[in-house]
Structures are given as C-alpha cells and as structure tokens.
Amino acid sequence: SFTTNNLQHAVAGIRALGIRGCAISMPFKEEVMAYLDIIEPSAARIAAVNTIVNDSGVLTGLNTDAIAIQRIFADNIIPQEARIAVFGSGGMAKAIVSALDDSGYRDVTVVARNQQTGQPLAHKYGYPWLPQWPQDNAFDVLVNASPVGMARQADECPCPDALIQQAQVVVDSVAKPIQTRLIQAAARLGKRTVSGFEI
C-alpha cells in the first residue's frame, strides 16, 4: 500500500512497470478515471473506479465496491423497505448509492455536507439529499461512505449517537482502522456492524 501526490505519474508507472492490477482508494476513485483507457460500464455509471486492471499496457477501470455492498446487504438480509442513510458523496458513496438502486432499495437518503456533489448524487437515483443529519428522522441502516473515521479524522464519528441507537445495522466503508469510532459506538449499542475491511 502506498500513496502519491502525482496521480498521473503513478498511473503511468502502472503501465510502464507492467503492474497487472491495483486497488484505488479515497480520494482518487474519481480523478483516476481521466488516466485510464477503458472504463467498465458499471464503473462509468457510478463515475468512480476502485480497481485498475493492466492488459498489456491497456488500463481498464472497474468498480468492485458496488458488488461488495450488494453482497453485504444480501448477507445481512436487509429488507427492501429498510430506511437507509448514506453519509458522503465521493467515489465510495457513488458506488454504494448505485448498488442500492440496482438492488431495488427506494427509501435511501444521501446525507452530504457538499451540496455540489451530494445533491446531484441523490437526484441521479431519485433519492432525497440532506446537507446534515436530521434531528427527527430514524434510519434502519446507517452507511458511512465518507473518510470520516480514518487517518487524521480517526477520532471522529460521522453519525450522531441518537441515530446509531435507532439503527439496526451500521456499515462503515473506512477500512483502516477497522474498529472506527462508528463501529465501536454501534457495537457498544448492540447493533449489527459491517467494517470497511469486509467491503
């Protein structure tokens, strides 16, 4: 695992070194698309890539996050009528919201502070958008699709305790640390949890 400040050169390195494939993490899932040769159709629909496959110098972008989310919701037997909140509007949020739409979930709310990305994401799938967590609304499933909880924000929890208390399932896309503040709070309250390590 490594990071870079020059995404274009890093992608050129994948091609030049013949690296067969690699994973892309936040915050590069959208930006990297400009440097690839082919974008697989479902990744194009999501408008974010989390995997690059190198076929003899031809770089193809895919998104396996959506498949993982669909599997997690199926494995946890989340009913179609569940009230779901997705926090965030970046590449991971795009994959999650697209996956939920593909799976037939209609009661999905996108909660994102960034109106320029959050509102279009929600409206693309016919879901409501909120700039912040509501005070008087409960959700069955809370999904953190933001970087809140990782690295410099490791001490932060993206969801208010009151909403965690009312939820049945809490999903956090942050993989490092595995035990984020959100996962710890949900576990303390006896909720079913899915960590970013499982996505």
Compute the 3-state secondary structure of the chain and give helix, strand, coil in percent, each to the nearest 5: 40, 20, 45
What is the spatial distance between Cα 25 and Cα 193, in angstroms, rounded to a whole number? Answer: 21
Question: What residues form DSSP beta bridges with 22?
Answer: 52
Q: Which of 29, 94, 124, 191 is catalytic?
A: 29
Per the annotation, the verdict on 191 as an active-site residue is no
Residue 55's alpha-carbon distances to 9, 25, 36, 52, in angstroms, are 18, 21, 12, 10
Sequence-separated (6 or more) residues with CB below 8 Å from residue 151: 176
Which tokens belong to 33? 């698309």
Sign of CA dihedral 70, 74, 76, 81: positive
Residue 153's alpha-carbon distances to 172, 176, 177, in angstroms, are 14, 11, 11
Residue 180's alpha-carbon distances to 9, 60, 66, 134, 183, in angstroms, are 32, 32, 21, 22, 5
Catalytic machinery residues: 29
